[in-house]
């Protein structure tokens, strides 16, 4: 992937995150964390964008897979809505496993970081870029 394409993709991801923050419930506008659906709001500087961050995993290669958060409110290691975006891409094996009907859309949702880790281990996903960091708390 070319540098300009990556930067364009990261900008699109940042816009997707902002638009999903106000778009409503599942499936569009949802973030998954431990099998639960969360929405979010953009925090107007109520939390400093420094210190430890949780991973927010966004997906390229199949439509319909919502972002997956590494932690959620109530988890001991939740960092209050401070996020680092990681862009994961479905591999050819991942597309075959997640798009059985060939329509270009995910046939099921990865709904937790543990599921994401499993599919990375299976070779279905690979990290292709690091996106922006931002502050945005999750709301049940």
Domain residue ranges in the chain: 3-139
pLDDT tens per residue across span 9-18: 443 444 444 3
Indicate the pTM of the whole model: 0.75
Q: Mean pLDDT lowest for which of 15-19, 62-66, 106-110? A: 15-19
Closest C-alpha among 46, 61, 53 to residue 99: 61
Residue 30: CB atoms within 10 A of its CB come to 20
pLDDT tens per residue across span 15-42: 444 343 333 334 456 889 999 999 877 6
């Amino acid at each position: 992937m070319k540098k300009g394409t990556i930067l364009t993709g990261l900008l699109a991801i940042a816009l997707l995150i902002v638009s999903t923050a106000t778009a409503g419930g599942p499936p569009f506008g949802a973030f998954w964390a431990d099998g639960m659906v969360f929405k979010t709001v953009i925090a107007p500087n109520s939390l400093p964008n420094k210190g430890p961050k949780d991973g927010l995993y966004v997906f390229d290669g199949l439509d319909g897979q919502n972002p997956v958060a590494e932690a959620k409110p109530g988890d001991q290691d939740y960092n209050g809505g401070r996020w680092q975006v990681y862009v994961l891409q479905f591999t050819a094996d991942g597309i075959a496993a997640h798009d059985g009907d060939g329509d270009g859309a995910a046939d099921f949702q990865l709904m937790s970081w543990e599921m994401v880790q499993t599919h990375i281990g299976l070779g279905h996903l690979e990290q292709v870029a690091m996106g922006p960091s931002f502050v945005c708390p999750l709301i049940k």
